[in-house]
Amino acid sequence: MGFSVSGHALYDRKGKDIVCAAVSVLTINTVNAVEMLTEDLFSAESDENGGRLSFRFLGDEISDKGRVLLEALVLGLNGIREEYGEEYLSIVEKEE
């Protein structure tokens, strides 16, 4: 279980793109919250220039807190998509 984000929203120019900034804040905060508030093991990799962040829980068991944090991330991302449109934020949910 985890998430990946990639690309840029292109809502506005670099440094002024509030959609990109909002997605970055939500995703980075989720990684930090999992690290600080849970005992869950995870891996995270980022490429700030390429607009990529990949996060995966390790192991078979994920805490209830970890699940709630991911659900909160999805809630926030869906809110951004509803406000600004799918042309700026595409969300793909899949099971592996």
In terms of CATH, what superfamily is 2-84? Cysteine protease Prp (3.30.70.1490)
- Give the residue from 32, 77, 73, 26 showing the smallest Cα distance to 42: 32
Look up tokens 């991911």; give the residue: 70
User: CA torsion, points 40, 46, 52, 56, in degrees to nearest 10?
Assistant: -20
- Residues 27-47 have pLDDT tens digits of 999 999 999 999 999 999 998
Domain ranges of the chain: 2-84
Average pLDDT for the chain = 92
**pLDDT exceeds cutoff 80 at 49:** no
Give me the mean pLDDT over the 53-62 stretch: 93
